[in-house]
Amino acid sequence: MIPHTVPPPSVVILASGRGRTFQALLDHSRRRREWEVTGLLVDRPSAPVVALARESGCPVHVVDPTDPDPVLRQLGPDLVLLAGYLRLVPASVTRAWAGRMLNVHPSLLPAFGGAGMYGMRVHQAVLAAGVRITGATVHQVNERFDEGAIVAQWPVAVAPGDTAETLASRVQMVERRLYPGVVDHAARGLREGRPVPDLFANSSFPAPGEHDLIPAPAGDPSQTDPREFP
């Protein structure tokens, strides 16, 4: 049991793009109240996510992507989340926030990860490879793109008629469920006083079984609303 006097852990989000993952995280945090988003860090002031954050009343900070650590230290969050952040986080920063910095990637890492593999590029590569299963991965962040320790994964089936866009819609649905759940888990660990290295030890996020597979839609995937799936 977590004492009511223990405040929810603070979270800072780094983003570069349109902000769909940022919005999902922010909405979840305000609904569940297990952790609090205290700021958005962006590498460019023109990023569309900035408008979303300001409309939501979330403070925005433009950082030097070669060294975001001064702003991170000023804000002092308990957890740092990457949400469509396209810059390589410097090694000095990943070391300073080791175990407390997470990212979500739209494939089952280590497949289809690494430099240049983001957004539609990932889904195009998945389709070109002809694989039948893809998914989403939440992982810790280190000094190399998509190579940090894997925390949780959720598989998504690839349909024969999928395009990068239809596949992306189902993977994004999974990301918006998996990522906040992992953050909930970490936040509870912090509130219980668990040491940072143990936040994901014996995690409650085992590899999903067959019943957790997000299925390929029947018929034409382009005509399928991903909200039809669990």
> How many CB atoms neighbour CB 135 within 10 A?
26
Angle between helices 20-32 and 164-191 (to 10 degrees): 40
Give Cα 208 distance to the centre of its chain. 17
Distance CA 72, CA 93 (A): 9
Distance CA 48, CA 40 (A): 12
Question: Is 27 exposed, middle or buried, given 0-12, 13-18 or 19+ CB atoms closer than 10 A?
Answer: middle
- Catalytic residue list contains 105: yes
Q: Which of the residues 4, 61, 105, 211 is marked catalytic?
A: 105
Distance CA 230, CA 218 (A): 15
The catalytic residue positions are: 105
